[in-house]
């Protein structure tokens, strides 16, 4: 009898194993895929948006209630196993098919992350991995950003998706924010310009852009639970203008809502943000979807607030919760119809639109795209200090010392949602090695773990490159349970084990890097410190000890080649900081990674340092070059304007060196005569110009007078002051770098 029982148990276990294997293969490894374009035979003669709108309403009228509910979420709850299984077991990101209705012929959409490359290309050998957005913001080149997102959109389509969870346009309020690398900087106007360039480029390939995270997501380790408090002017003037720009000017198809609370209400059920501001004031006619897994808490509240789709699976938008809300008259079927209509009309527009090209997998990481990744990495690197050391001499017979633990690892940024895999990644060592093979030089790598050995190498080498900074383990998206996050937030400090990535609690480099810099500083005059990371650091303890500092960021798949080109002068650095760095880090706004509630103030970054006359080590917009530039002849062509006018100025910029270079020319508007509390000045235009050696160009910059308004919370209106304004043009936000003129608004 016992043997029969054991046999039965054995067969049962075998059956379970086989069933698990079949499930793994069919649901995780080789899951079903679906066409994303609409069948033109099914929807013949539907071309204009008006016709699409009629079609959307007709389709909704044919839906049963269960079919309608299915339009409100990603996939079924059990499909979360597809996500977990693919990420943990197969090291790839799967397709989630949202909104498909086979009976009615409605195709689904598929979201791909894409801040630095098409995430869903993991399954097909990888995509082009570009530098992180902070590096691209440091390029001060929106044309470059448009070209990058053009490639990302093509590769997203080639990998079987038609929605891009990008651009990230959350504001860098404090450099400790773990996801700083995913955004473009600290200035709302600059965020808007880069977000606009990205959105336009993405959507021209019938990929729905989804700027994120709406709104006020500038803290990582408490993002699921933190409540952000702020006054109305701060909300309107600092944290929303960039979202308004991608909605009004960019006509973005979608927005992704944030995890955090805003004034006590979660962003995904915040009626004020989602309906009153977004739809009623800004005229948003796209659709809203939640951030993934932990962003929606109450189906009725989110439906009433105007959230169209819960992602990625049906956690909260359950049949039971929605049917109960209908039965209790908390929501109506007409509301559900409207939510579906708002999304379906947009989805059908993209699904029916003809494509301008064929999106085959041969597009993924093709040579032209890799070349753009190299260009982007070069354009974004910021030379902060150079005591005549760089570029290093390109001579033969040299020994180059590359020192530091990050010198020979693939390090392209965090491993959260913005992760991008590519067929290869050029490390700093590989880039320098390939560069110097052509010159017959020797590159020696040392990880710096033995300071005596590292010091000896630095002393004996002709050139020394010290690589310091971070990896995904130190900063980035913070993946941890809501309960664990809430516990630390309540305690105001870390409770239990810290997850990977997240916010940085201090702005110093890691101890190993401090020790290394202090050990080798002053030993060799031909030395450059190369920083890899996503935001500002505190360099006050070693800045004056080293001759050259280069911010290389997380530079993408071609980062090592770009670094070699910059260090040896094949590429001329032209990047400039997209944030300001004070001399004393205590002058940043209050920040803690662990908080149940935090208040965001009106001032941060360069506006804060300007207002309080705080000394900065490196100003917003600052960056050195191997060229030198001179600014002259500022001409305010519009000395008097009305409220509908455009401020137009020109300034001469001269390359006073013998080296071809690009200069990011910046325009700021000053508010010294304002009767209300306003920043000393605000960025309102910039242009990246290429100048031959000795060449002078008259650079034209402009800003609409409407961009000078302030939000009056009493009247609930944007108001323009009739007064004299200052206009500044120059190389950075530092007063000594700017020419000044004036104009008057009547």
What are the tens digits of pLDDT across the range 278-287? 999 999 999 9
Average pLDDT over residues 554-563: 98
Average pLDDT over residues 610-615: 98
**Per-residue model confidence (pLDDT) at position 494:** 97
Q: Where in the chain is the domain with CATH 3.40.50.1700?
A: 363-476+504-578
Taking domain 629-745, whether its CATH number is 2.60.40.10 is answered by yes
Residue 5 pLDDT grade (very low, low, confident, very high; cuts 50, 70, 90): low
End-to-end Cα distance, the chain: 100
- The yes-or-no verdict on residue 302 having pLDDT over 90 is yes
The set of residues, in sequence order, having a beta carbon less than 8 Å from that of 405 and lying 6+ positions away, is 447, 448, 449, 467, 512
**Per-residue model confidence (pLDDT) at position 7:** 66
What sign does the dihedral 297-301-305-308 (CA atoms) show? positive
- The yes-or-no verdict on residue 139 having pLDDT over 80 is yes
Whole-prediction pTM: 0.96
Per-residue pLDDT reduced to its tens digit, 97-133: 999 999 999 999 999 999 999 999 988 999 999 999 9
Per-residue pLDDT reduced to its tens digit, 713-738: 999 999 999 999 999 999 999 999 99
Beta partners for 698? 652
Taking domain 2-362, whether its CATH number is 3.10.20.30 is answered by no
Residue 8 pLDDT grade (very low, low, confident, very high; cuts 50, 70, 90): low
Tell me how far apart the alpha carbons of residues 130 and 139 are, in angstroms, rounded to a whole number.
13
- The yes-or-no verdict on residue 702 having pLDDT over 80 is yes
Per-residue pLDDT reduced to its tens digit, 303-334: 999 999 999 999 999 999 999 999 999 999 99
- The yes-or-no verdict on residue 616 having pLDDT over 60 is yes
Q: Which position has the higher pLDDT, 448 or 5?
A: 448
Judged by average pLDDT, the poorest of 19-28, 30-39, 188-197, 375-384 is 19-28
Question: What would be the CATH architecture of the domain defined by 363-476+504-578?
Answer: 3-Layer(aba) Sandwich (3.40)
Q: Where in the chain is the domain with CATH 2.60.40.10?
A: 629-745
Strand 261-262 and strand 265-266: the pairing is antiparallel
Structure token digits, residue 546? 């080293």
Q: Which helix (H) or strand (E) holds 394?
A: none
- The yes-or-no verdict on residue 20 having pLDDT over 80 is no
Average pLDDT over residues 650-662: 98
Percentage of the chain surpassing pLDDT 90? Answer: 93
Mean per-residue pLDDT over the chain, rounded: 96
Average pLDDT over residues 338-346: 98
Q: Where in the chain is the domain with CATH 3.20.20.300?
A: 2-362
- The yes-or-no verdict on residue 13 having pLDDT over 90 is no
Structure token digits, residue 631? 């600014």
Per-residue pLDDT reduced to its tens digit, 566-604: 999 999 999 999 999 999 999 999 999 999 999 999 999
**Per-residue model confidence (pLDDT) at position 502:** 97
**Per-residue model confidence (pLDDT) at position 23:** 76
Contact by Cβ (8 Å): 148, 451: no
For residue 585, which of 679, 680, 506, 469 has the smallest C-alpha distance? 506
């Amino acid at each position: 009898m016992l043997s029969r029982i054991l046999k039965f148990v054995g067969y049962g276990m075998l059956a379970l194993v086989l069933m698990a294997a079949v499930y793994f293969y069919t649901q995780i490894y080789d899951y079903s895929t679906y066409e994303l374009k609409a069948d033109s035979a099914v929807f013949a003669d539907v071309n204009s948006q008006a016709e699409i709108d009629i079609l959307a309403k007709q389709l909704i009228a044919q839906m049963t209630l269960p079919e309608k509910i299915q339009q409100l979420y990603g996939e079924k709850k059990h499909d979360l196993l597809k996500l977990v299984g693919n990420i943990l077991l197969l090291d790839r990101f799967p397709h989630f098919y949202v909104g498909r209705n086979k009976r009615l012929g409605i195709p689904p959409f598929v979201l791909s992350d894409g801040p630095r490359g098409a995430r869903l290309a993991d399954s097909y050998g990888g995509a082009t991995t570009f530098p992180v957005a902070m590096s691209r913001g440091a390029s001060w080149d929106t044309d470059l950003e448009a070209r990058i997102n053009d490639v990302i959109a093509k590769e997203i389509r080639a990998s079987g998706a038609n929605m891009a969870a990008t651009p990230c346009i959350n504001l860098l309020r404090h450099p400790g924010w773990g996801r700083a690398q995913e955004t473009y900087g600290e200035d709302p106007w600059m965020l808007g310009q880069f977000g606009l360039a990205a959105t336009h480029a993405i959507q021209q390939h019938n990929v729905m852009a989804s700027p994120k995270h709406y709104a006020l997501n500038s803290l990582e380790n408490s993002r699921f639970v933190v409540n952000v408090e702020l006054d109305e002017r701060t909300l309107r003037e600092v944290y929303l203008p960039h979202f308004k720009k991608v909605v009004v000017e960019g006509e973005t198809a979608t927005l992704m809502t944030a995890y955090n609370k805003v004034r006590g209400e979660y962003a995904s059920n915040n009626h004020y943000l989602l309906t009153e501001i977004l739809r009623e004031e800004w005229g948003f006619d796209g659709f809203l979807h939640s951030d993934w897994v932990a962003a929606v808490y109450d189906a009725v509240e989110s439906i009433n607030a105007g959230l169209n789709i819960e992602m990625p699976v049906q956690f909260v938008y359950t049949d039971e919760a929605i049917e109960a809300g209908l039965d209790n008259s908390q929501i109506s079927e007409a509301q559900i119809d409207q939510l579906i209509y708002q999304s379906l009309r947009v989805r059908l527009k993209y699904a029916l639109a003809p494509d301008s090209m064929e999106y085959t997998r041969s597009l993924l990481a093709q040579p032209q795209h890799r070349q753009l990744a190299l260009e982007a990495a070069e354009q974004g690197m910021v030379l902060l200090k150079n005591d005549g050391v760089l570029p290093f001499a390109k001579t033969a017979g040299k020994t180059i010392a590359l020192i530091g633990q990050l010198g020979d690892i693939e390090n392209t940024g965090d491993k959260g949602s913005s992760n991008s895999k590519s067929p290869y990644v050029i490390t700093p060592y590989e880039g320098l090695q390939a560069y110097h093979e052509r010159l017959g030089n020797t590159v020696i790598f040392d990880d710096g773990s033995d300071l005596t050995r590292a010091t000896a190498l630095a002393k004996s080498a002709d050139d020394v490159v010290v690589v310091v900074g971070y990896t995904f383990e130190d900063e980035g998206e913070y993946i941890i349970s809501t309960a664990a996050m809430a516990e630390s937030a309540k305690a105001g400090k870390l409770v239990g084990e810290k997850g990977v990535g997240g916010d940085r609690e201090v702005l110093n480099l890691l101890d190993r890097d401090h020790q290394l810099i202090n050990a080798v500083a002053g030993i060799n005059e031909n030395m450059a410190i190369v920083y890899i990371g996503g935001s500002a650091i505190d360099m006050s303890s070693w800045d004056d000890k080293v001759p050259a500092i280069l911010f290389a960021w997380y530079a993408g798949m071609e980062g090592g080649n770009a670094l070699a080109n910059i260090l040896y002068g094949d590429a001329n650095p032209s990047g400039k900081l997209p944030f300001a760095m004070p001399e004393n880090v205590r002058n940043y706004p209050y920040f803690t990674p662990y908080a149940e509630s935090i208040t965001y103030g009106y001032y941060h970054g360069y506006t804060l340092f300007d207002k309080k006359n705080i000394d900065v080590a490196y100003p917003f917009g600052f960056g050195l070059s191997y060229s030198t530039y001179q600014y002259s002849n500022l001409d305010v062509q519009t000395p008097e304007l009305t409220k509908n006018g455009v401020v137009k100025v020109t300034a001469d910029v001269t390359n006073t060196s013998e080296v071809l270079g690009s200069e990011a020319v910046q325009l700021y508007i000053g508010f010294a005569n304002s009767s209300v509390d306003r920043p000393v000045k605000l960025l309102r235009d910039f242009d990246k110009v290429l100048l031959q050696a000795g060449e002078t160009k008259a650079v034209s910059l402009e800003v609409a007078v409407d961009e000078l308004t302030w939000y009056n919370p009493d009247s609930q209106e944007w108001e323009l002051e009739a007064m004299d304004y200052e206009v500044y043009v120059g190389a950075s936000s530092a007063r000594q770098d700017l020419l000044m003129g004036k104009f008057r608004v009547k």
